[in-house]
Amino acid sequence: MKFTLPWLKNHLETNASLNEIAKNLTEIGLEVENITDPASDLKNFTVAKIISVKKHPDADRLQLCEVDIGGEIKDVVCGAANARKDLLTIYAPIGSIIPKSNMEIKKVKIRGVESFGMLCSAEELNLSDDSEGIIEIDNDFEPGTKAITAFSSIEPVIEIAITPNRPDCLGVYGIARDLAAKGVGKLKEVKIKTIKETEETIPVFIDSSGKTQFCNLFSGRLIEGITNNESPKWLRDRLEKIGLRSINAIVDVTNYITYDYGRPLHAYNADKIKGKIGAKLSKKGDKIKALDGKEYTLDDQTCIISDDEKILGIGGIIGGEEFGSEFDTKNIFLESAYFDPIHIAENGRKLNINSDARYRFERGTDPEFVIDGLDLATQMIIEICGGKPGKLESIKKELPKVKKIKFNPKIIENVSGISIKEKEIKKILVSLGFEVSKSFEITIPSWRPDVSEQVDIVEEVIRIYGLNNIISSPLKNTNQPSKPILTDSQKNTNLARRILASRGLIENISYSFVSSKYTKLFSNNSNPLKLLNPISEELSDMRTTPLISLIDNYIGNKKRGFNDVGIFEIGPGFTGSKPGNQHLIASGLRSGMYKVSGVERHWQGNDMVDIFDVKGDILAYLDIVGIKQEVLDYDTPGPEWFHPGRSANIVSKKKNVLASFGELHPKILKKLNIPLCVGFEIYLDDVLPIIENNNITKEFNSYNLQSVKRDFSFDIPNNVNAETLIKAIRSCNEDLIEDIKLFDQFILDDEKKSLAVEITIQPKIDTLTDKEIDRISDKVINSVEKATKGNLRSQ
């Protein structure tokens, strides 16, 4: 639903700004989807005068225009056919933004000729749908005058989303009513003048038999002697600004009333009506050529508008092509009716016709406004086109009954938790058009077919009262324990489980009993803890780490053909039988091509997992619990079951081992006859004290500015590890560097290798300029080269 701000103020007396109106519309449930404000969009645009026009030397359809923009002459390449000498138009300078396309104007070369700016069409400036040529300004404005001065009819356009249950807001008047109830302004009274009627008339009818009530009210008026011409400028502008094409005065008036009050109307050429006019059901096989130029074949359940001889239109949906109002039409029959919403919806879908009338009728129009809407349209037509209005003809069947609800004000607090005084409740409901008795019996207004239950009344009161006025408070539950059920250790275990699962690993749950063939390989030179009464020979020992169970699980999967595996398990590892010899460990294992996103397929080939994958698993967990890499260090090698040259321990500043990772030892791989695997262990019992000491519950910071990513590749000596390079980048002390990722390693020769890193730079206040980004990049390069004795790779 679109409307202009002045259109809204026709019904709402208010001093509220455009932003205030938009804010209140969204608060009351009429969500603002878009605001087009030409005055704001055109602030950098100016009036310009074309001094001379020459043909482009290398393009038949382009012209070279010398343009006076006010004390300065600019060369502009233009493709508009109407560009000519002495024409006043609108000029977009370099750096301005075209409202329609959001394109920034830059100095460019077009077919070898430089162009300094742009001459604009009305469509490009969101002023109308006219894209044929550039704007022509009739009044005599000096070049350099602000563009908004040249347009007297510049008006902001507001577009809102209407939910299906709010047909009352499919007219500007209904929107104004809601805003007035919110306190944004005062609703103006609808003034309907008395129509001086003649005795001339065309009889009307509703031919309904059986239970089908497709039309409950059909009314109309003959208007003779009109002069149907082009609509006045204010009416054309108002319709065009919301995307409707002006056709002629009669059609424009009916469209205006449709959007102004949500009351669809239709005007028929009265000279083509034979006898009576009214609503009835079609016969199977009936055909009609509609206003959209298509022919429709009807069944025996479609409401049609007809006279004594022929079909004039499809009721509530679309009129017939031959019977509409043209410029030469002298006499019209103006129809206003109430059609059954379900019937219109069924036939609209069946015929696949979408029209403004169908959109409103199937949602429910106001049955009490049928005659008023007809009178308002009659009044406008007489003022614009002249003519003599005939006698009102109307026939009524059973209209929807007035609904009354016995309302209990206490239900508002019961449902919403908000306590509102009865006086305030009454004030809100009355401002929305509801009638409220002393006993709180509420009469529902005819324009609100969606309100039928007490909970609907609650919704009306709450949306106008304002959700922003509700004070947040915790829900009380006397049955809930006063203290948290989970311990810090249990919370940490659950968090680790979620993080590892989010990394693509599948959780493994297994016994803590394992075969002695594994504990001999993972014993750390100590005697494994054996069971006195094992349930089987294969489950004779207590595992020293859950990594053993994962390897056993992998071997079973490999036998079944699953070579690419990513699994994890959180459970105990046992180093002895005494208290304190049981440790909670989160272990993970990856093999084959099982990367973070699962089994990858890449056009360059399939990459096998490496230690950087499992290192990333550990760091993802540590980052979530608030342990930053700045407070960590690395100690090589890792435990003896990992490769001595391709493993490491992650330690705290106090040298406590928090985690280990690496490739499994080649001896273990050979002994178990398995391919290369990488694994990790996170010692959750040792991590927990650091989490508690750091008090990791911190405010989450988000920024609405686009981050910048830069890749760097450095050639460094082979004996310098990647962590040295990353630490050098962190030592720059740049707050804007948010993340550092190592994504590639390439061995150049026996002495050098190339490491590639991706650095994420996050602006926090303003968008960074190229100079600021280059400054950070230079600082990173200098720091790395100094720390590693390497250099930035040139190619």
What CATH number does residue 181 fall under? 3.30.56.10
Checking phi first, is residue 364 left (phi over 0); if not, alpha (psi -120 to 50) or beta?
left
Question: pLDDT at position 662, please?
Answer: 94
**Is pLDDT above 80 for 73?**
yes
Domain shared by 418 and 526, yes or no: no
Alpha-helical segments (H) within 157-291: 172-182, 233-241, 249-261
Using 50, 70 and 90 to split pLDDT, how confident is the model at 305?
very high
Exposed e or buried b per residue across 121-150, where buried means at least 16 C-beta atoms within 10 angstroms of its C-beta:
bbbbbbbbeeeebbbebeeebebebebbeb
Distance of CA 219 to the CA centre of its chain: 43
Using pLDDT thresholds of 50, 70 and 90, give the confidence band for residue 692.
low
Q: Is residue 483 part of a domain?
A: no
| 266 and 180 in a common domain | no
Least confident segment among 140-149, 440-449, 691-700:
691-700
Contacts of residue 765, defined as CB under 8 A and 6 or more positions apart, other chains included, come to: none
Mark whether 548 and 616 lie in a shared domain.
yes
Beta strand pairing status for 108-110 and 113-115?
A: antiparallel
Q: What is the CATH number of the domain that holds 125?
A: 2.40.50.140
**The residue type at 339:** F
- In CATH, what number is assigned to the domain containing residue 392? 3.50.40.10
Q: Do residues 91 and 123 both lie within one domain?
A: yes
The SS3 call for residue 208 is coil
Does 703 fall in a domain? Answer: no
| Whether 578 and 518 share a structural domain | yes
Tokens 């397929």, located at residue: 601
pLDDT of residue 280: 94
- Across the range 360-381, mean pLDDT stands at 95
Helices 422-431 & 454-465 angle (0-180, nearest 10)? 90
Q: Are 497 and 451 members of one domain?
A: no
C-alpha 82 chain-centroid distance: 40
Q: For 94-105, what is each residue's pLDDT tens digit?
A: 999 998 888 999
Task: Provide the angle, in degrees to the nearest 10, between the axes of the packed helices 172-182 and 249-261.
Answer: 30
pLDDT digits (tens, 9 = 90+) for 22-39: 999 999 999 999 988 888
Do 499 and 511 lie in a common domain?
Answer: yes
* Same domain as 409, residue 300: no
Judge whether 598 lies within some domain: yes
> Tell me, what DSSP letter sits at residue 191?
-
Residue 573: which of 588, 590, 556, 587 has the closest Cα? 587
Where among 105, 130, 150 does a domain terminate?
150
Compute how many other C-beta atoms are within 10 angstroms of the C-beta atom of residue 394: 15
The 10s digit of each residue's pLDDT in 621-635 is 988 888 877 778 888
Give the chain's radius of gyration (CA, Å).
38
- 732 has a pLDDT exceeding 80: yes
Question: Looking at residue 483, what is its pLDDT?
Answer: 63
Domain that holds residue 46: 39-150
Strands (E) in 70-134, as ranges, are: 73-78, 88-92, 108-110, 113-115, 118-119
127 inside domain: yes
Do 778 and 700 touch, CB atoms closer than 8 A?
A: no
| pLDDT reading at 128 higher than 90 | no
Statement to judge: residues 734 and 602 lie in one domain: no
Kindly state the percentage of the chain with pLDDT values over 90. 60
Contacts of 472 (CB under 8 A, 6+ apart): none
Decide if 117 is inside a domain: yes
Mean predicted confidence (pLDDT) in 432-439:
94
Q: What is the average per-residue pLDDT within 703-721?
A: 87
Q: For residue 524, is pLDDT > 80?
A: no
Pairwise CA distance, residues 624 & 622, whole Å:
6
pLDDT, position 738: 82
| pLDDT tens, position by position, 194-243 | 999 999 999 999 998 666 689 999 999 999 999 999 999 899 989 988 98
The band of 720, judged by pLDDT with boundaries at 50, 70 and 90, is confident
Q: Is the pLDDT of residue 296 over 90?
A: yes
Identity of the residue numbered 185: G
Q: Are residues 163 and 87 in the same domain?
A: no
The residue type at 13: E
Task: Say yes or no to pLDDT of 795 above 60.
Answer: no
User: Is 430 in contact with 381 (CB distance < 8 Å)?
Assistant: no
Question: Residue 307: pLDDT above 80?
Answer: yes
Same domain, 511 and 655: yes
Q: What is the mean pLDDT of residues 675-702?
A: 75
Overall number of domains in the chain: 6
User: Please, which pLDDT band fits residue 251 given cuts at 50, 70 and 90?
Assistant: very high
C-alpha span between 298 and 353 (Å, rounded) = 13
Token pair listed for 660: 């280990």
User: Do 33 and 180 fall into the same domain?
Assistant: yes
536-582: per-residue pLDDT in tens? 878 888 898 999 999 999 999 998 888 889 999 999 998 888 888 88
- 350: tokens are 């069946």
| Measured distance CA(322)–CA(274) in Å, rounded | 14
| Cα 241 to Cα 96: distance, rounded to the nearest angstrom | 23
Is 474 a member of any domain?
no
Q: Is the pLDDT of residue 5 over 60?
A: yes
> How many whole angstroms separate alpha carbon 205 and alpha carbon 195?
22
The answer to whether position 198 is within a domain reads: no
> The tokens 């002249």 sit on which residue?
386
Which tokens go with 141? Answer: 């404005």
> Average pLDDT in the 669-685 region?
92
SS3 320: strand
Average pLDDT, whole number, for the chain? 89
Task: Report pLDDT for 437.
Answer: 94
Determine the pLDDT at residue 405.
94
699: confidence class by pLDDT, cuts 50, 70, 90:
very low
In this prediction, residues 242-256 reach a mean pLDDT of 94
**Domain with 717 in it: what CATH number?**
3.30.70.380
Q: For a pLDDT cut of 70, what percent of the chain falls above it? A: 94
pTM strictly above 0.85: no
Q: Which pair of tokens denotes residue 610?
A: 């490496």
Q: What is the dihedral of CA 544, 548, 550, 552, to 10 degrees?
A: -150
Residue 601: the pLDDT is: 52
Q: What is the pLDDT of residues 42-67, one digit of tens each?
A: 889 999 999 999 999 888 889 999 99
Q: Which residue has the higher pLDDT, 733 or 713?
A: 713
Is residue 482 situated within a structural domain? no
CB 650 within 8 A of CB 634: yes
Tokens describing residue 548: 């053993």
- Asked if the model's pLDDT at residue 398 lies above 90, the reply is no
Q: What is the C-alpha separation between 537 and 514, in angstroms, rounded?
A: 9
